[in-house]
Amino acid sequence: MSNEQAVRKSKRGMINYRMIWRWHFYAGLFCIPFVIILSLTGPIYLFKPQIEAAIDRPYNALSGQPKSLEVQVQAALASLPHSQFVSVDVRQDLNDAARVTLMQHDERVRVYVHPESLAILKTIKEKDRFFSIVKNIHGELTMGEFGTLIVETAASWALIMIITGLYLWWPHQARGLAGVLWPRTGLGRKIFWRDLHGVVGIYVSAFAIILILTGLPWTNVWGSNFRNIRQAIETHQVQADWSSGRAAEKVTNKGHHGWHSAPLAADLSHIDIYAQAVRDLKLPPPVVLTSPTERTPHWQGVSQTQNRPRGVTVRLDAHTGAMVSRETFADKKIVDKVVGTGISLHEGQLFGPLNQLIGVLTALGLITLCVSAMVMWWQRRPDDQTLGVPAALPEERLGSGFGILIVILGLFLPMMAITLIVMALIEFLVLKRIPPVRKWLGLR
Radius of gyration of the chain (CA): 27
Give the Cα separation of 361 and 435 in Å (integer): 44
pLDDT at 402: 76
Number of residues that make up the chain: 444
| Per-residue burial over 34-44, b = 16 or more CB atoms within 10 Å of its CB, e = otherwise | bbbebbebbbb
Residues of the chain with pLDDT under 50: 256-260
pLDDT at 383: 77
Number of helical H runs and strand E runs in the chain: 14, 8
Alpha carbon of 389 to those of 19, 28, 171: distances in Å?
Answer: 10, 11, 22
| CA geometry: angle 439, 31, 223, nearest 5 deg | 130
Give 131-187 pLDDT, tens digit per residue: 999 999 999 999 999 999 999 999 999 999 999 998 888 776 656 677 778 888 888
Task: Give the neighbor-by-neighbor strand order of the sheet with 120-125.
Answer: 120-125, 107-113, 98-104, 84-89, 287-290, 299-303, 312-316, 323-328
What is the helix (H) or strand (E) element at residue 19, kind and residue range? helix 3-46
Closest residue by Cα to residue 315 from 291, 331, 336, 294? 291
pLDDT at 124: 97
What is the helix (H) or strand (E) element at residue 53, kind and residue range? helix 48-56
H helical segments located in 257-395: 271-281, 334-346, 352-380
pLDDT at 324: 93
DSSP string, 232-291: HHSSS----SS-SSHHHHHHHHTT-SSSSPPBPP---TTHHHHHHHHHHHTPSSSEEEE-
Give the Cα separation of 153 and 148 in Å (integer): 8
Please provide residue 84's backbone torsions phi and psi, each rounded to the nearest 5 degrees: -135, 135
pTM: 0.87
3-class SS of residue 52 = helix
pLDDT at 273: 93
pLDDT at 258: 39
- The residues facing 58 across adjacent strands are none
3-class SS of residue 416 = helix
Cα 295 from chain centroid (whole Å): 28
